[in-house]
Amino acid sequence: MRPRDDPEVLDWLSKAAEDLRVAEVLLANAPELDSAICFHCQQAAEKSLKALILASDGMPERTHDLDALVTVLARTFSSLETARADAALLTPYAVIPRYPPWTGGGNEQPGVASREAEEAARRIERIVRGLLGAAGG
C-alpha cells in the first residue's frame, strides 16, 4: 500500500470530492438537472475507486464500469462487495447523460433519482476513505 498522504492518491480523492460537491450544489440549486447530477455522482464513485486501486499499488483501468472496478478491488478488500449495488446503479451515468439518445450514445436515461445517485456515490466514497484510513501508513 502507498502511504495515505501519497500525492497521486490524494489527487484522485480530491477530484472525487469535487464531483460530489458539484452534485451537491446542483441538487440544492438546480435539482431538475438530474442527468448532470447523476453523471457527477458516477464520476465521484469512479475516481474514489481508482484512488483505492492506485493506493493498492495498482494501475487504474481505463473504464467507466464501476462494477469492474469493484470486482478488481474486492479481491483485496472484501468489504467492497457491499458497494456492488451502488456501482451498478451509477455505471450507466458515465456515458448516457452526455449524449442525446439519437446519437447512439445511449438509449433512455436510467430511472434513478439524483438524490439516490448522490447517496450511492457517498456510500462508495465512505467505504474507500475508510479502507484508505485503515490501510494507510
Give all domains of the chain, ordered by start, each with its CATH number.
Answer: 7-135 (1.20.120.330)
Residues 29-43 pLDDT 10s: 999 888 899 999 999
pTM of the model: 0.89
Q: Is the pLDDT of residue 48 over 70?
A: yes
Calculate the alpha carbon distances from 136 to 1, 23, 123 in Å: 7, 28, 19
Under the banding of pLDDT at 50, 70 and 90, the label for residue 137 is very low
> What string of DSSP letters covers 109-125?
PP---HHHHHHHHHHHH
Residues 81-116 pLDDT 10s: 999 999 999 999 988 767 766 555 554 455 568 999
Closest CA relative to residue 46, chosen from 31, 66, 27: 66
C-alpha cell at 99: 449524449
Phi, psi of 113, rounded to the nearest 5 degrees: -75, 145
